[in-house]
Every structure is written in structure tokens, then in C-alpha cells.
Chains A and B, each alone.
Chain A
Amino acid sequence: MNQNPTPSEQLDRLRQPAKESWHALQDSDVPVIYVGHATCGRAAGSQETIEGFEQALADKGIAAEIRTVGCLGHCYAEPLVIIHYPGFPPLMYQKIGAGEARVLVNSFLQAGEDPCFEYLLGALEPNEMFPTLMDYPRYLYEKRVIMAHCGRIDPENIDHYLALDGYQALAKALEQGGQWVVDEVKAAHLRGRGGAGFPAGIKWEIARHAEKQPKVVICNGDEGDPGAYMDRTLMESNPHQVLEGLAIAALAVGAERAILYIRAEYPLAVRTIQQAIYAAREKKLLGDHILGTDFSLDISIFQGSGAFVCGEETALIQSVEGHRGMPQYRPPYPAVEGLDGLPTVINNVKTLATVPAIISKGSDWFKTIGTEKTPGTAIFSVVGEVEYPGLVEVPMGVSLEHLIYEVCGGIKDGKPFKAVQIGGPSGGCLPESELGTAIDFDSLKQAGAMMGSGGMVVMNADACMVEVARYFVDFTQKESCGKCTFCRIGTRHLLAILEDFTKGVGSDDDLQELKSLSEGIIKGSLCSLGKTAPNPVLTTLKFFPDEYLAHIHEQRCPAMMCRALTAFYIDLEACARGCDACVACCPTEAIFTTSNRKKAIDQEKCVKCGECVYACPPEYDAVRRVSPPGMIPDQGIKPLVETKEEQ
């Protein structure tokens, strides 16, 4: 051969055997069991599920393959199992523990007869026997671009990714050159999914044209929002997609060095990514002379040690340099002067994971998804009081109402909706009246919330908005790096005022101070942590002023959540004689027997943990909660005096 093979030709050589092994798995003669084995699956017990399958298969002497895959995003259904039995469409089962695994083996895998409809979620392909997943609103309304392969492929097997057109975008990018990549991403108008929504293409262009050499690209996987786990899932379920995006970014910027900043609390993500880097290096997809070209990329992992503020890009750089993670004043922006003074591009995991799709399918395709100003999809980790919590990927621009009610099945137990908190600990709380808000950077910001990196907490009527604001301010206050005055001391004062409110202490002056401090902190803080920390306070003040006033003026918590402002009592009408379920559960022995052998609570001893509410059998449902505490009715309770016989 007189000419070097092009990157695409090189890739085709790698892909041939990969495709063969993938198809062999798809058309396997024996059943293949895919078990979701990312962190979420493991927490739900997928390890026991795997062992259960192994043991049951061994007992029955059935040949089957067990493959571990990543996460599909259906937290409510974990541990999740997909069984591909020859002759059947791939079937997805929910909540499969070791016992259910044995049942599946015995009744389905052994004879191929009963596919256990009781555990079945649906079939992955259209067929005549089973309901398919597309019949569910969750699947119908989701649009999977970033998470397309998550949960379907083995994250530790590079062949699976290669077989599904993996690294094709990198080969294309290598053939077209860095400038073309920058232009394409710019044309796609891809906005940074880390929270700020800054156009990635423009960031890349600035760094590409920066004079200093060499350049660095960093993938920001320091996901610290409470209840958010999109980045972790992507890194654990499809690491090569993230690596491919990172390599394309490096090519576009002209960087020779790439760093994945992953928090140390994600050990599985670190391990999966590390393993993926080795595998890709071996196949010359990363490392020196990628796919036979002159482009080389040194790629490494840096583990962050659990500081929320290190998700801020300048603090992240400080952390990589070995300093305490404290944000720096911008400008200079990292794209001009970042890590060790070199031009540094920092992109979120989700941003980078979107890049391969844009490069291989083109910017025009990308712009058909989502809105004009924010094309593409958004991944949210929806948690809280929804029927189907989990990761959802929807096109930008759909309304909150659609996401909560259609995609996630609405509020659990049919309770009324109260608020949704969007954008992590410094996002805002939006009420029912704002549910029409479209999900994109600009609309959410206008409504007082923010896109953040995609955390979403849905709350029902049991949530006290003052307490919610206090909770989030407590988080940001504790995670403040302590550098600038407004964030370090200002948020502490917000917290002190809110703590007072939840105890029924406070005045209108405090309310005024809360507002003016919040506004000052937003204007005066150094970095986005401080600039956004008062958002939960300001939005709850705006949308739920009555709750604040009830706390201050009436010492009443309308949601009956704040302990100091509530009390529990037992309704003697409803309480059953002789039942003592509540007595056993009370940690402080506050529940005593009344003269008519029913139960009552000693308010002096009660710590208001609420355990008795859950312990009381639903047929009686006798424990009542009131606010303010003085509302307990006088039921003429007398303690039981021991009778003569017992003496």
C-alpha cells in the first residue's frame, strides 16, 4: 500500500470484529440476561440479582449469558433486568431481586413458557405478544440523544460502543480538521450543559485562537448537587461516548492534554472511565497518533475530593493545580488563561457526550431537536414526590408540567403538587402557576429558577417552603469556600434568619433583611455559588409569601413540617382500644395509655419525629398533626390508674 489508510478506514478495521461480536450476542442461541449494574442498580441490590441468576441457572443446568450493563435511568424500577430469550423480543423486567431472578429462571428460562408478566415492564421491540415500552408515556415523550445507548451496552466492553457506530465522529473530525469541528459545534449552537449555558463552540474558538501553547481540555465530572446523578450515570454507562467527546474537543481546541475531573465519591465512574481509557488507548483511539494521524492526546483522570465549589471552573483549576479549591476572579477566563496559565477549555460531561452525535449527524440535524435558542436535549434527574423518579432526557423547550405529569407520571399517591425546585441547591422553587415554563436556559432563568446541571426535586403539599429554603441555604453555606465576604458571612445570616422562622421567631424587619441580604449577595459575590445561593430564598419569598407570614405572625407551619411549630396528638375517637402499635415505635416513650385504654402523647416527652404516624394502622389513622402546637384539643385525657387485681 502506498498510501496511509484514512482514520475512517482504520476505524473500519476495528469495527469489523466489534460488529461481529455484537451481532453474535444479539443473535445468541442461549438466553442473554442484561443486568443494570451502575451505582444506582448496585444500591438497589443488582449484585444479589446477578448472584441469584447465577445460582438458579447453575441449579437448573441452563446455559445463559449474564451481561452487566449501565443505567437506563429508571430508578423506580431498579434492579432492572433485560432478558433476551431466543424467539422472544427483548423483555424488560423491574424490581428483580434474587428471589425474582429464581422465579424468572424457573418459569421463563427453563421452559420458555411463562414470561412472568407480573414483573414485566415491557418489550423493547414492537411485537404481537407484549406491550412495548413505547406504549408508556415515559418512552414516548423522551428523546434520547445523549443517553441513547446507556443501559443497553456493556460499559466495560469497547466493542459494544464500536459496534454501535462509536468513535465514528472522532474519525470524521480527524478527517475534517479542528476548525471544521469548531464551526460545526458553533453552528449547532450547543450550549454548555453544566449550568451557565455558554455556547461551547465559542469557548472552543477562543481557546483555539489563544496564543499560548500547549492547550488543555478538562471534562468537568464534579457533580455535587444533592440528588443529581446525570454525569455519574453517563460516565458509568457509556464512558466511551464521554471520551470521544473529550477527544473531539481536544482536536478542536488543539490541545495535547485532556483531564477528566471526577469526584472521588464516584468510585465506579472513576474505575469505568479508567478502564475505558486503557481500552481505547490499546486500540489507538486515544493516546499517541490516534487512528494513524498526527493527533496525539494524553488523557488522565483527576479525582476531586468532595468540595461542591470545585464544580466552578476556576476553583476546579485551582484544585487540579494542587491548591485549595477557591474560585478566582474572571477575567481572565480559563479559555484564555487557565490551568498553569495555559488556555483551558472546561466542559461538562453532558456537553461532551453530546458532541459525537453532533459531529456524526451534523449541526442541522441537532437543530431540529429542542428550541431555536437552545437546541438539543436536557437530562434531568427527577427526584422527590413523583410516581416515576429517575433520569429523563427530553427535548429542550418542553414544559415543566409535561415533564412532571406526562413523563414522570405525576405526583405520588395523587397528592397535590406544591413546588418544583430546579437547578440544584441554588436553583429556584417554582409553584403550580409556573408549570407552563419551558425547560431551557432562558425561560427558567426568567422564572427565577435555573437550568443548573439538571437536578429537579418535586415537592407535594407536605413540604414547607421556609424549611426547603433553609435546607438549601444550609447546604450552600456549608459548601461555600469561605473566600468572599458576601457568600461566607452573608449566607450564614440568611441561614440564621431562616432558622428563626422555622422556629416561629422573626419579624417583618427580618423578612426585609432577608430580601436585602439576598439581593446584596447576588450582586456582591465573587463566583456563581454565591451569586445563585439566595435563589431558593427569593423564589419561595416571591411565590409563597403566605407561608413566611404564617411562620412569623401566627407561629404556624402550614405544611406542618417545622418541628418547633407542630405537635402530634392522638384522636381518641379514632384510636383503637388495646392497640399499641404506636407505643412500641416511640423513641422517647412519650405515648401512654389513657383511662379508657386508648393512647395519648405526653407533649413534654414528644420529640415530634412522626414515627407514630407511620406506625398507626391505616384502618385507625388516629395520629393527628397540628400547627401551631397550641391547637391540640382538650380531650379530657386521664392516664390509666392500675386496677386492684393487677396490684
Chain B
Amino acid sequence: MVTITVDGLEITVPRRTRLLQACLDNGIYIPNLCYLEGMDQPPASCRLCLVEIEGRPGPVPSCSLEVEAGMVVHTNTDEVQKLQKMAFRLLVCTNEGQCRMCMANKRCELQRIAKFLHMPLRTKRLRHLPKDLPEVIEDHPCIVYEPNKCVLCGRCVYVCAQQGNDFSLSFANRGFNTVISFFGSQNEGQGDACLDCQACVDICPVGALNLKDDRRRHLRKMAAKAKARG
């Protein structure tokens, strides 16, 4: 076991635990999107779980660090908050922030992080900048993908690989237009296999991946609600 200090609180965790996991296990929340428990090598891509550690220069991603005895960690310094808020603003600016219409409303990780950081879900400081892609991508037999909602955390790619699926859910394109893509999704029988699994849909923190049927039902419900409101 190793004892570390986080924001003045001493916690004791097993050796080789990831710092982020150690904090989460002890009730200290650090915003995160791309990390999943049990990951061998966390991608460290969302850049939200930054913390400052005494004796190290600059903020570091807590998901990628293993705890070390005597570590003194600060999760809420000005520097950390500044970067977290900037990363959050960048993540929400591709979407209009129409939470009310979204299937992930009230269970969305971004909403949780917004609350934690005291940030609005629609940023005023940065322009709204949708990706240069269709609003909805429907080339998979049973799953729809909404690129502008997607935060590219890669959780779906990770769980799909964990399921041992023989086709690959992977990243495609470059730069700002990077998306996740279902290669080989047109193969016969793939639709059924995905319908059985749904791991990617379940793990998506922001509701960017949904079953086609569910989404259709949801849209109908929304339309009915809107009609009822007049």
C-alpha cells in the first residue's frame, strides 16, 4: 500500500494504482472522459484529469500516473482549472448544447463536468464550430453516430476491442474531422452481432452513439412533446 496526499487529504491505496483511480475510489472527483478502469495504458487524450504534483513541472494527466509514496497532489489549482475549463470549452463548441433534445440528457458526462467546473454548456468565448461532416452518420446497420456530439474519448474503440469483435471500431480521418468509424460494418451478420453486443453504445459518455431504433423512438417522442407544447 502507498499513502499519498490529495488536496490535503491523506489516502492509502494499493501500489501501482493509477492516480485518477485512487482519487475516484476515495471520493475525490476529477473530471475525466477517456479513462476506464482496468485500462492497461490510458489514452490520456481528453486532457481533463490534469492535476499538479509537487516537485513536477506543469499539470500532468492523473489517469496515466501511478501513485508514488509521499506524492502531494493538488487537483484544483488555478493552472489546472484554467486548462480544464479551456479543454471543456473546446469540447462543447462543436455541439450547440441542445441538451434537452439529446438522448443522453441528464446522464451525460459533459453535464456532470459542466456542473463540477461551474461552466455553461454553451460557450460564449469560443465560436460554435461544427465539424465538416454530416450531422448524423448512419452507415452502420443498427447504430447511428453523431460526430458533433462525439468527444473522441475512444472508450467505444477500447470496449469494442475488449469484446474481441472481429471487425474494428476505430478512429478515422485526421485533425478536427477525426471521427470514429465502423470498418467492415456492412458485412453480413454484423448488424446482428452489434445488436447483441451494444458495448459501444452503453459506454459512450455523451450519447454520440445510439441504436437506430432507440433514436427513432426518441425523436418521435420529442416531436410529440414539442407538438403538445404547441
Interface 1/0s, chain A 485-509, versus B by CB < 8 A? 1101111110010000000000000
Which residues on the B side are within 8 Å of A326 (C-beta)? 171
In the complex formed, the residue of B with least CB distance to A489 is B90
Is A415's CB within 8 Å of the partner chain B? no
A324-B170, A324-B171, A329-B61 known; A481 vs B178 contact (CB < 8 Å): yes
- What residue of chain B has the Cβ atom nearest to residue A521's Cβ? B86
Query: For residue B171, which residue of chain A has the nearest CB?
Result: A324
Q: Chain B interface: which of A124-132, A139-147, A472-480? A: A472-480
Among candidates B45, B83, B152, residue contacting A526 with C-beta atoms closer than 8 Å: B45
Expressed in whole angstroms, the minimum distance between the Cβ of A232 and any Cβ of chain B is 23
The count of A-to-B residue pairs whose CB atoms sit within 8 angstroms is: 101
Chain A interface mostly helix, strand, loop or mixed?
Answer: helix
Asked whether B115 is an interface residue with its Cβ less than 8 Å from the other chain, the reply is: no
User: Which single residue of chain A is at the shortest CB-CB distance from B86?
Assistant: A520
B94 adjacent to chain A (CB < 8 Å): yes
Known: A489-B91, A523-B59. A482 touches B178 (CB 8 A): yes
Listed stretches B106-114, B123-131, B195-203, B209-217; interface member: B123-131
CB distance from B141 to the nearest CB of A (A): 24
Contact A329 B175 (CB under 8 A): no
Residues of chain A within 8 A (CB-CB) of B58 are 523
Q: Does B86 lie within 8 Å of A496, measured CB to CB?
A: no
B172-206 vs A, Cβ < 8 Å mask (1 yes, 0 no):
01111110000000000000000000000000000
Count of chain B residues with a beta carbon within 8 Å of a chain A beta carbon: 37
A329/B174 in contact, CB under 8 A: no
C-alpha spacing A645/B27, complex, angstroms: 95
Q: CA separation between A486 and B90, bound complex, in Å?
A: 7
The answer to whether A484 touches B47 (Cβ under 8 A) is: yes
> How near does chain B come to A608, taking the closest CB pair, in angstroms?
25
Residue of chain B at shortest CB distance from A517: B86
> Given A328-B41, A329-B42, A477-B176, does the pair A489, B171 have CB atoms closer than 8 Å?
no
Contacts of A480 in B (CB 8 A): 174-176, 178
Q: Bound complex: CA of A490 vs CA of B48, how far in Å?
A: 14
| Bound Cα distance from A570 to B130, whole angstroms | 42
What's the minimum C-beta distance from B145 to chain A, rounded to whole angstroms? 15
Residues 314-342 of A at the B interface (beta carbon under 8 Å): 324, 326, 328-329
User: What CA separation (Å) do A307 and B178 show in the bound complex?
Assistant: 14
The chain B residue with its CB closest to the CB of A512 is B125
A513 in complex: contacting residue of B41, B125, B152, CB < 8 Å: B125
Closest chain B CB from A262 CB (angstroms): 21
A634: min CB distance to chain B, Å = 38
The chain A residue with its CB closest to the CB of B33 is A485
**Shortest distance from the beta carbon of A497 to any chain B beta carbon, whole Å:** 9
- With beta carbons under 8 angstroms apart, the residue of B48, B86, B173 that contacts A482 is B173
A496 with B129: CB separation less than 8 A: yes
Chain B residue nearest to A530 (CB atoms) is: B47
B residues less than 8 Å from A638 (CB atoms): none
Residue of A nearest to B41 (CB): A328
Asked whether any CB of chain B lies closer than 8 Å to the CB of A524, the reply is yes
Q: Does B64 contact A (CB under 8 A)?
A: yes
Given contacts A480-B175, A492-B176, A525-B47, 4 further A-B contacts (CB under 8 A): A482-B177, A482-B178, A492-B129, A513-B125
Question: Measuring CB to CB, which residues of chain B are less than 8 angstroms from any residue of chain A?
Answer: 41-48, 50, 58-59, 61, 64, 79, 82-83, 86-87, 90-91, 93-94, 125-127, 129, 151-152, 154, 170-171, 173-178
Q: List 20 A-B contacts (CB under 8 A).
A: A307-B174, A326-B171, A329-B41, A329-B43, A478-B175, A483-B152, A484-B47, A485-B47, A486-B87, A489-B90, A489-B129, A491-B175, A491-B176, A492-B175, A493-B90, A493-B127, A493-B129, A523-B79, A524-B59, A524-B86
